[in-house]
Amino acid sequence: MQDSTLFESRKRDHIELALQEQNQTADVSQLESITLVHEALPDINFQDISIETTLFGEKQSKPFFISSMTAGHADATALNMRLARVCQDYQWPMGVGSQRRQLFDHEARREWQMVRRVAPTAILFANLGIAQVISTSTKLVQELVDSLEASAMIVHLNALQECLQPEGTPQFAGGLKSIGRLVKELECPVIVKETGCGMSLETMKRLNDIGVHAIDVSGLGGTHWGRIEGRRGEIGKNNKISQAARVFSNWGISSVESILNSQKLTSKSRPDIWASGGLRSGLDTAKFFALGAKMAGFAKPALENAVKGEEALTEWMSLMEYELKIAMFCTGSQNLNEIKNKVSLHANR
């Protein structure tokens, strides 16, 4: 049994620290190495641009999603309800924060019931860390999905964070086998996502081989959980953690490099590749769509605006869609398939 007070305190710390610039890795994102090819004479009308994509083989009107961020503490419920309401209105899917607490506190399911009540038609993704997936039966994981009425289950990978977190669970042995079990037994698609350190080609090949439905690369370039746990170590006067965190402060594979790695997957039935980790504008998403990503996820920018209120969140989401369409128009791309490969990679990548 875990201490609920300590659990909630950690989750609140994570939100506060995730909004601080020193815990971002934008300076190593490699996004500056990508330029979209300008088309001076696009033979299309701006109003005819479509940003429709597919989600697990079905048509999806928007290619954006809100990445998993927070859960399990009092402040999270209001934030998740706000995010879900606006995501429902804007038809953006949304990943919820880790549902780990629900494994030891049955009352935690009420948070998701409240979220679903205010957003009955929103596309929501359940979420659990790999360490918990390994030690949890498929039946209990399915209960997490059902409590949220989720459209998919996210399994998040956070090796660096677990090593640096005082309460961490860096027991990952059997992880691939456990994900494969969920792919076969869960009643919904399985998404595997990193949490800011990116994906190597070898990792994606192994996930491809067991049939996961989507891979969210979540690479270096955005919020870095090693830095966050290092800051927690400083606050808690844990010198070993804070010193190790500084050594690993730029650890990971950038989102750009991760998407480029995914291009080398040769299987015809390869999973959809989603981009997140350092995306800050609609132009950023256009670059990743040009590299072959199917969906683009935001965390910190969404959180910053959600904290301000639903109006700020709505305006920001509208801006992201507008900026993507501008990039598409200026590359002569009427749809997301047409923007593929309209990109120039600079030598410094």
pTM for the predicted model, two decimal places: 0.90
The string of pLDDT tens digits covering residues 86-122 is 999 999 999 999 999 999 888 888 989 999 999 999 9
Confidence of residue 264 (pLDDT cuts 50, 70, 90): very high
Q: Where are the domains of the chain?
A: 4-345
Confidence of residue 311 (pLDDT cuts 50, 70, 90): very high
Choose the weakest-confidence range: 49-63, 126-140, 195-209, 214-228: 214-228
Is the pLDDT score of 2 beyond 70?
no
- In this structure, are residues 208 and 265 in contact, taking their beta carbons and an 8 Å threshold? yes
Q: Quick one: average pLDDT of 124-151?
A: 97
CA 322 – CA 149 distance, rounded (Å): 30
Instruction: Write phi, then psi, for 276 (nearest 5 degrees).
Output: -155, 170
The string of pLDDT tens digits covering residues 12-43 is 555 565 555 665 666 666 888 899 999 999 99
Choose the weakest-confidence range: 306-310, 314-318, 334-338: 306-310
pLDDT mean across residues, the chain: 90
Q: Does domain 4-345 have CATH number 3.20.20.70?
A: yes
Confidence of residue 348 (pLDDT cuts 50, 70, 90): very low
Q: Quick one: average pLDDT of 279-304?
A: 95
For residues 332 and 8, the model is more confident at 332
Helix/strand/coil (H/E/C) assignment for every residue in the chain: CCCHHHHHHHHHHHHHHHCCHHHECHHHCCHHHEEECCCCCCCCCHHHCCCCEEECCEEECCCEEECCCCCCCHHHHHHHHHHHHHHHHHCCCEECCCCCHHHHCHHHHHHHHHHHHHCCCCCEEEEEEHHHHHCCCHHHHHHHHHHHCCCEEEEEECHHHHHHCCCCCCCCCCHHHHHHHHHHHCCCCEEEEECCCCCCHHHHHHHHHCCCCEEECCCECCECHHHHHHHHHHHCCCHHHHHHHHHCCCCCCEHHHHHHHHCCCCCCCCCEEEECCCCCCHHHHHHHHHCCCCEEEECHHHHHHHHHCHHHHHHHHHHHHHHHHHHHHCCCCCCHHHHCCCEEECCCC
